[in-house]
Amino acid sequence: MFTATLRVPKRGNTERECEDAGRVRSADGTVLAAVADGASESLLAGEWATLLTDSLLDSASDVLRDAESFAAGLAVAGLAWQAWLDDYVVGREAAGRPIAWYEQPKLDRGPHATVLAARFGAGRWEAAALGDSCLFQVRDGRLVCAFPLDQANAFDNAPPLFNAFNRDTVLLARHVRIAAGTTEPGDGFFLCTDAVAEWFLRENARGGRPWRVLRGFAGDLEGFAGWLDAVREEGLMRNDDVTVVHVDLG
């Protein structure tokens, strides 16, 4: 079993400004993975995406059963965010940089993100998503599952987002999508935030094999960043933060 994470900011931004997050953990033959895409209009969107993925992996064995369980896991992440934010505000004050008047409204509104989490093991995978981050399953050189979106034209500028202060689990569950399937040795999975997910589906639709491209950059972040520059320049991918978590079952 092999796992790798590739994370690159939009062109013109630094790594610190990247508002995507990707996490993967493995133990006892099970792999847990998650990606999140913080909304740029939010303050601290990248920090929220990171906390959200970490929180979901902490409870992945419980939150991937159904939409209601995933919504409950999101609410738990929101509670963790409130504690993180309280510490952040105190830290800013201690450093002599208290929250500015123009920052407060965005802090009060809370950060937003799309998110997808998955578990792989014992011949089965399970996933849950809110928004347009996607999972792709590849077997024997073909795409066998695309979740939650399966067409490039399904992406738009207003995907469902999870606000860190949203505790309405009933409402959240209405926007959660759940999927599950079987795994076989040699299956490859790619968890992708929206820009690279849209590219992946477009390439697949025209007969390409985008998984080969992504698999070729395993462990080569510099090469991946260079490739992104080229495809963005050609207009083949939107200039946005990009994160890919690759899980290869070998």
The helix or strand, by DSSP H or E, that contains position 23, with its residue range, turns out to be: strand 20-27
How many Å apart are CA 200 and CA 190, to the nearest integer? 10
The pLDDT of residue 219: 80
Q: In CATH, what number is assigned to the domain containing residue 112? A: 3.60.40.10
Question: Residue 121, Cα to own-chain centre: how many angstroms?
Answer: 20
How many Å apart are CA 36 and CA 139, to the nearest integer? 25
The pLDDT of residue 108: 95
In order along its 250 residues, the chain shows pLDDT tens digits of: 788 999 999 999 999 999 999 999 987 889 999 999 999 888 999 999 999 999 999 987 789 999 999 999 999 999 999 999 999 999 999 999 999 999 999 999 999 999 999 999 889 999 999 999 999 999 999 999 999 999 999 999 889 999 999 999 999 999 999 999 999 999 999 999 999 999 999 999 999 999 999 999 988 999 999 999 999 999 999 999 999 999 998 7
- Please spell the DSSP secondary structure of 26-38, one letter per residue: EETTEEEEEEEEE
Sign for the pseudo-dihedral over CA of 52, 73, 62, 185: negative
Q: 70 is written with which tokens?
A: 């995933």
Let me know how long the chain is.
Answer: 250
The pLDDT of residue 233: 95
Q: What 3-state DSSP class applies to 147?
A: strand
Q: 184 is written with which tokens?
A: 């076989």
The pLDDT of residue 152: 96
The pLDDT of residue 2: 83
Amino acid at 183: T
The domain tally of the chain equals 1
The pLDDT of residue 75: 96
The pLDDT of residue 135: 98
The helix or strand, by DSSP H or E, that contains position 120, with its residue range, turns out to be: strand 112-121
Are 135 and 179 in contact, with CB atoms under 8 Å apart?
A: yes
For residue 69, give its domain range. Answer: 2-248
How many Å apart are CA 140 and CA 43, to the nearest integer? 43
The pLDDT of residue 250: 75
